Chain A
């Protein structure tokens, strides 16, 4: 009998549970069906970290809604999720996303797939001018694919303690100003001295699976040593570069191959010198503003190579409420808004009118470092090439070369000669032009 009563009890609980769930499910479904017409969805791969999202939702968009009455749902997403999502929506012809915030490379891929609206039809935005390089780059695959939204770059962060171990004939001022003495050879000597005198490696790179170390290879070292990102891939200068890197790597923290962002290793003092994207070291500077200083990257024999990253705003083809999306683009590229973005999240403006204002506080350290890097006389600006879906293959060539030469100790000339045709093949296959400074 007790079996029976236990059973009825259990059955009753299970049935009740199922009924509740079903009711919740149906109720939920009905609620989601009644979406408000003035609400647009903005999916962004930028400004995703919690603090940045809070800024976007509570300040940027709150003000926009107050001004226009348009509700905006900001959805932070990874690039992979966004690409998957967009592919399916465009494939099924049912688009829910009104606005996309993504990096140049991703937008290039979306445009190559024909998923983006030509923004040329909305006309020009008044009261602001975009730098020419940004204007040119936002025209992709025959359309005005996106409006430049924010820019960023990669810099070096130094823990001030490291200045106690400077090599001979290199001063702190050389480094901070990016003079001709601040070279990769001087950097190597510094790294070596730090290693020997502090008893361990003090230099780190974000060479983990999601780290951006590959940008250092093709956008910093290659231009600095060979004068180009791609075309001199297997030159004698490239051999010199790889030899330099092999030597440096002895003094680089071994955990680098598992680091995706350098803020934590810097804060934990696992390293004193790090190279990374401005957004990925911002937390370190914000947490301990007195410990760190941001400096230009070193120069190589051919100049001071560095990458400029561009984030853009785009409208998917067939997007709902595209006029509302355009209003949001207009709002986001206003000089006033751009200064706010710079002050709150540390992304740099995309319009000339906004560049004047530099925020006070820890971010000033970052901003001045970036400005100094941009202003160095030997600057060699590199842009990430527009290879669409082949962008991953492009990175993979440099990563593979690094793994085989530096990590496995294979013959330099043999590896780069083997990989060069693969690299050039990507540009031939896609018809993409070689990126600056190659052309």
Chain B
């Protein structure tokens, strides 16, 4: 962003301000992460000392203890549930989001509101009837069951986000495609979809995170096949601080990796859009 008429001084001043703002923002966000990761591996004596701010002695003991108790299986369970949730909620939500963005039809606003409204009921109260329903359906204590519930939770947001993404892509492009001989499906797949991909990737991350961090449903619906948050809630929250930090660390790590991978994907897709 080079201003056309600026002197060198103004240009560098601008650069310094930008750098300063970015550094403040980044520090603000990552300091708690760094602290909690350090504490997750901290020796208890250092952690509880009044004088030692940054621990000097480290141990793998807390994390090892958690993994030995089944955190590993729980991570795999959580990933499976999150991926199933993404697949299901996109299969159902994408068409609906497209319909809300591209068509004018009677009852559109009410329908949209109705779908959002359905989700607004707090999970805590929904969980109990859901458990009995699941037992009747033979879905209790299964990962698919959790994924189905998470899909219900994520679906309204997938619909809203996708409809906003599609609405942000000029309809005229698609119409131009129609004129040049594509049918509606073709126009959607070859024009709208590629343009929407970065946004959709963001929506997928959002869905993943929502499923990954959801505790209440997972804790109530599973008993032996715990997802990670449910496992941590029931086995680590009763423990001392450093075990909690170790638990937070195990929880954050895979999600961080996922976001990291998705971020590369996002940047690449932004490249296509901005070309």
| Residues of A that sit less than 8 Å from B by CB | 3-4, 6-7, 10, 17-18, 21, 24-25, 28-29, 32, 41, 43, 48-51, 53-54, 73, 75-78, 81, 84-85, 87-89, 91-92, 94, 96-97, 261, 263-264, 267-269, 283, 287-288
Contact = CB atoms under 8 A, between A and B. Distances in A.
Given A6-B194, A263-B240, A84 B135 contact: no
Given A78-B234, A87-B128, A88-B135, A50 B65 contact: yes
A21 B134 CA distance: 21
Contact of B189 (A7, A75, A77): A7
Contacts of A268: 48, 50
Interface stretch (B10-18, B26-34, B103-111, B137-145): B137-145
A17 B48 contact: no
A50 B135 contact: no
A91 B133 CA distance: 10
B149 to A, nearest CB: 14
Nearest to B219: A81
B55 interface: no
Chain B facing A: main interface SS: helix
B143 A53 contact: no
Contact of A21 (B44, B48, B83, B223): B83
Contacts of B144: 25, 28-29
A268 B72 CA distance: 31
Contacts of B219: 78, 81
B238 interface: yes
Contacts of A287: 44, 48, 240
Nearest to A32: B142
Interface in B212-243: 219-220, 223-225, 233-236, 238-241, 243
A41 B239 contact: no
B135 A92 contact: yes
Contact of B80 (A6, A28, A51, A94): A28
Given A43-B223, A78-B234, A17 B239 contact: no
Interface string B167-205: 000000000000000000000011101100100000000
6 contacts: A6-B272, A18-B87, A41-B223, A49-B238, A49-B239, A94-B135
B84 interface: yes
A269 B50 contact: yes
Contacts of B134: 88
B159 interface: no
B239 A32 contact: no
A277 to B, nearest CB: 11
B66 interface: yes
Contact of B142 (A3, A29, A85, A267): A29
A25 B235 contact: no
Contacts of B4: none
A92 B189 CA distance: 46
B265 to A, nearest CB: 10
A84 B220 contact: yes
A78 B143 contact: no
A97 B80 CA distance: 25
Contact of A85 (B131, B191, B197): B131
Given A3-B190, A21-B84, A85 B220 contact: yes
Interface in B144-158: 144, 147
A12 B60 CA distance: 41
B132 interface: yes
Among A41, A54, A85, A287, chain B packs the most CB atoms within 10 A around the CB of A85
Contacts of B87: 17-18, 21
What range describes how many residues of B lie at the interface?
Answer: 35 or more
Contacts of B239: 49-51, 283
A77 B234 CA distance: 6
A85 B217 CA distance: 12
Given A84-B127, A94-B135, A267-B240, A48 B235 contact: yes
Interface string B56-79: 000000000110110000000000
B131 A84 contact: yes
B136 interface: yes
A96 B223 contact: yes
Contacts of A267: 44, 48, 240
Nearest to A89: B135
Given A25-B80, A78-B219, 16 more contacts: A3-B190, A4-B190, A7-B189, A21-B80, A29-B144, A32-B141, A32-B225, A43-B223, A48-B234, A49-B235, A88-B131, A88-B132, A88-B135, A88-B140, A264-B240, A269-B50
Nearest to B44: A287
A264 B147 CA distance: 36
A102 B168 CA distance: 55
Contacts of A51: 65, 239
Nearest to A266: B48
A32 B132 CA distance: 19
Contact of B243 (A29, A50, A94): A50
Given A6-B272, A24-B80, A87-B128, A50 B66 contact: yes
B143 A28 contact: yes
Among A81, A92, A264, chain B packs the most CB atoms within 10 A around the CB of A81
Contacts of A78: 219, 233-234
Contacts of B193: 7
Contacts of A29: 142, 144
Nearest to B128: A84
Contacts of A10: 197
A96 B235 contact: no
Contacts of B142: 28-29, 32
Given A17-B83, A17-B87, A81 B240 contact: no
Contacts of B220: 81, 84-85
A150 B140 CA distance: 31
A246 to B, nearest CB: 31
B88 to A, nearest CB: 9
A95 B24 CA distance: 55
A91 B128 CA distance: 11
